[in-house]
Amino acid sequence: MANTTQMLKGLLEGSILDIVSKNETYGYEVCEKLVEFGFEGVSEGSVYPILIRLEKKKLLYSTMKKSPLGPMRKYYYITEEGFKELKDFIVSWKKIKRNIDNVLEG
């Protein structure tokens, strides 16, 4: 079977955009949410590079804020361009899911 890691990369970007679109959040919290939603194998080592990449693409922006539990935290927010990208991701995902469902059910 094809490497699921490659498939997951694109799906994680869209999933992370969705998580950030709902609330300001920091990297570790994104990891926790992904695990909560069923992405058990996802580690901080794979999430942080995606956050950096999304920020470089101007889909997210960040700001440092005081943490109640220690050092400053980098909080992420979605940009208008990020909302557009998220919308495109959702449309693409629904189409791909429908097509795969058709194959598996057909």
Q: What is the pLDDT of residues 41-51, one digit of tens each?
A: 888 898 999 99
Mean pLDDT of the region 58-77: 93
What is the predicted pLDDT for the residue at 9?
78
Mean pLDDT of the region 60-81: 93
Q: What is the mean pLDDT of the chain?
A: 92
> Rounded CA gap, 18 and 8, in Å?
15
What is the predicted pLDDT for the residue at 1?
46
Look up the domain containing 43 and give its range.
4-105
What is the predicted pLDDT for the residue at 21?
98
The number of distinct structural domains making up the chain is 1
What is the predicted pLDDT for the residue at 2?
54
12's tokens: 């994680």
* CATH number of the domain enclosing 29: 1.10.10.10
